[in-house]
Structure 1
Amino acid sequence: MSIDSILAQPTRSPDIEWNPSFTWYEERVKFLSGLGLKRPTRVPKDFPNVVYEPWVWDGRDFRDEGQYVVHLQENDVAEIEEALATFKDRIGRLELADVNRRTFPLPQLKERLEDIAQELHRGIGFTVIRGLEPRNYSPLDNAIIYLGVTSYIAETRGCQDSSGNMFIHVKDLGNSIPNSDMRQSPYASNAQPFHNDVCDILAMYVQEQAVEGGESHLASCAKIYNEIAATRPDVIHTLADPSWIFDKHESPPRWNTRALLFNFGDKGPGFCFSRRPITGSPTSPRSTGVPAMTEAQAEAIDMVHFTAMKHRLTMKLKRGDIQLINNVAIQHARSEFRDSTIQRRHIVRLWLRNEQLAWGTPEGLERTWFEKYGESERRKIAKWNFLPGATRERILFRKDSCS
């Protein structure tokens, strides 16, 4: 049997879960290994054998959070609050879309924030800004501060759904939306497997922590790549193949195809995918009529997750933290969490891009990037919903969630 027969389109979906089972993964690896397939022994010609860059790391490389947490001092917070006042003096003429370096001046903090931008694009690929206290500000003021500070890191903002939302409030809304057990993950408390969002820089501003759980997990895409390339170069071929099927969750069924692994020019390989449109999930079962993935693809996508788990860095974000991630260099996941009636986990998400420092967008992602950052129809109806909450349709509608 050749590898082509395993890659051929099956009629039945493999046994695979959105939050993957290590037992099923091991059984699949063993099964495919026993078939005697003729597998590629080198990575694709346009991919490196190994990546040597600062964004190649193992979670154990970080001895303490001081290696990635940037602490704001009292004078930094004072400057931010002065910039907030400056912007609000013009609030009658300006809207949230107008928050930028010119309208939110940070002359002293500017250089440190620009250093963070360099770290995200050319260093380890993530950081946490710590020292703000969201309880000191109104929801509108928090939105202005968030946009103002991050404008020095990546000023272009991406639209996060077809409704034009520029902010997404990651918060369990089960208590406020009746009969919403099947709500999408941004609005639930379940754990999430490793994935990428659809952006260059992912920003998360913590308004409140969970009572328990909700830890953030990060993993270096290049570290994952290096290990798989060294041990299973055939899987690199599978991940880089553009035949992966992404369910659009529409009726009649519709899907698009693209790769999961891309070569970002001189920056090397990086991932861009989430599992939901590929594997389906409890809240978004795979649509009837959408072609099934192959056993080789099921092995490959689970291998990425479990390699990420092996090399992950886990952090507990605090209220007021702004976590910033180079989304194409790093995958992220989260633990399940528990809220109380008086303390509910709440994170405000932004998708950002630094036009000068951004990694080159591969051809396979150009259309998606235009939709998020270009003059697309969804950006023409941009909405700056600085208050938490979402419509029932947004919470339950499978098509309108991050993929």
Structure 2
Amino acid sequence: MTEMLQQPYTGPSAWTRPQMEADRSWIYTLSPAEVAEIRAAVSAALAAGKPLESISRADFPLASLAGRLAELGEELENGRGFEMWRGLPVEDWSLEERSIAYWGLGQYLGDAVVQNARGELFGHVRDTTAGADPQTNANTRFYHTNRAAPFHVDGADIVGLMCVRTARAGGASLVVSSTSIYNALLRDHPDMIPLLYEPLWFDHRGEHNAVTGKPYWVTSICGWTNGKLSMMYLRNFIESAQRYDGAPPLTGRHRKLLELIDHYAESPELCLSMEFLPGDIQWLNNHMTLHSRTEFLDWDEDERRRWLMRLWLNRRERNRYTDTYGYYGIAPDAR
């Protein structure tokens, strides 16, 4: 029988919006000395002459900042599950320098994993689809549009988003504690909890994964293992998987559960909104948080258009989720 958490989850990851607005210690502003150290590490990596994806932690030396990055890793793993870093001088750097700086910092948190069927380890979040709607086209991805994104997780332990340029208007980042959503469901709709642990089909949405060899994978929304709770929530992936022959049909209770998760994710009680500034990096633990984005209006000029860089990282050590979810949310028995 699947093990289930049947009492409220406690700990720093079960936060609410008012708590985070009252205590903004989740914003970490880099000091001038730390920025200087990152600049020196970028220069060292450039001098080594390696391709970006071959640059290791050893190629990006951070004698002082390494300790703070270890603290960040601990905060993501056992704390609130997210943090915003502020102050990278992205406007002073070339594309290569920005990429190396971001990649090098990520090397202190985990190993980069591919983000799509093209095998990209380093992603870019920009509107490139001229208004395509992912809700009506199952193979369109939200990060290539200007549309508001539904609350979701990404396919790795950690997702990092670094802001290079902001939109003309909109594009706020929304973050919510998935453990707090679980607690709200347990409080208000305890009959729904067992449904969170039942297997569902998730659509790869045109990016068929070599791990499964199929256009979908099977896992549950929640896992409870090693005393830790994890949530894998991708409503549009769950719903679009219904297009495949043999997919177990979503029942009325399933659809009610999805509506309730979205309701709590969007609620003033839980939903935290944050604006990106150029040089910000948002780090999120995908097992403990859901994230989203509001719709945005972009600039007409290409050189001003909204641009985020993205990393997906898996922790190097055997982490607390290994027995629940593997890469891209695939349960171990589905590998």
Instruction: Name the TM-score class by shorter chain.
Output: 0.7 to 0.9
Q: Which runs of structure 2 are paired with 1:168-247 in the superposition (5 Å)?
A: 168-174=123-129, 183-242=140-199, 244-247=200-203
- Cα deviation, residue 131, structure 1: 0.4
- Cα deviation, residue 75, structure 1: 1.4
Contact 1:194 1:308 (8 Å CA) reproduced: yes
Range with greater deviation from structure 2 (290-299 or 343-352) = 290-299
The superposition leaves residues 206-261 of structure 1 with CA deviations (integer Å, 9 ceiling, x where unpaired) of 1111111111111111111111112212211111111x12235579x954432111
Alignment counterpart, residue 146 of structure 1, candidates 83, 102, 105: 102
Partner of 2:119: 164
How far apart are the structure 1 equivalents of 2:152 and 2:294? 13
Partner of 1:115: 71
Partner of 2:298: 339
Contiguous gaps of at least 5 residues in structure 2? 209-213
Partner of 1:266: 227
Partner of 1:391: none
Contact 2:106 2:311 (8 Å CA) reproduced: no
How far apart are the structure 1 equivalents of 2:32 and 2:78? 29
Contact 2:26 2:82 (8 Å CA) reproduced: yes
* TM-score (ref. length: structure 1): 0.72
- Cα deviation, residue 319, structure 1: 0.9
Contiguous gaps of at least 5 residues in structure 1? 1-43, 377-403
Q: Which runs of structure 2 are paired with 1:321-336 in the superposition (5 Å)?
A: 321-336=280-295
- Cα deviation, residue 99, structure 1: 2.1
Partner of 2:84: 128
Count the aligned residue pairs. Answer: 315
Larger radius of gyration: 1
Q: Which runs of structure 2 are paired with 1:17-28 in the superposition (5 Å)?
A: none
* TM-score (ref. length: structure 2): 0.86
Contact 1:104 1:148 (8 Å CA) reproduced: yes
How far apart are the structure 2 equivalents of 1:64 and 1:357? 34
Alignment counterpart, residue 277 of structure 2, candidates 304, 312, 318: 318
Partner of 2:45: 87
- Cα deviation, residue 203, structure 1: 0.4
Query: What secondary structure does 1:350 align onto?
Result: strand
- Give the aligned CA root-mean-square deviation in angstroms: 2.6
Partner of 1:277: 237
How far apart are the structure 2 equivalents of 1:167 and 1:224? 30
Contact 1:249 1:287 (8 Å CA) reproduced: no
Query: What secondary structure does 1:263 align onto?
Result: strand
Q: Percent identity?
A: 26
How far apart are the structure 2 equivalents of 1:249 and 1:135? 35
Range with greater deviation from structure 2 (167-176 or 228-237) = 167-176
Partner of 1:297: 254
How far apart are the structure 2 equivalents of 1:193 and 1:117? 26
Contact 1:239 1:301 (8 Å CA) reproduced: no
Contact 1:100 1:155 (8 Å CA) reproduced: no
Contact 1:247 1:290 (8 Å CA) reproduced: no
Query: What secondary structure does 1:62 align onto?
Result: helix
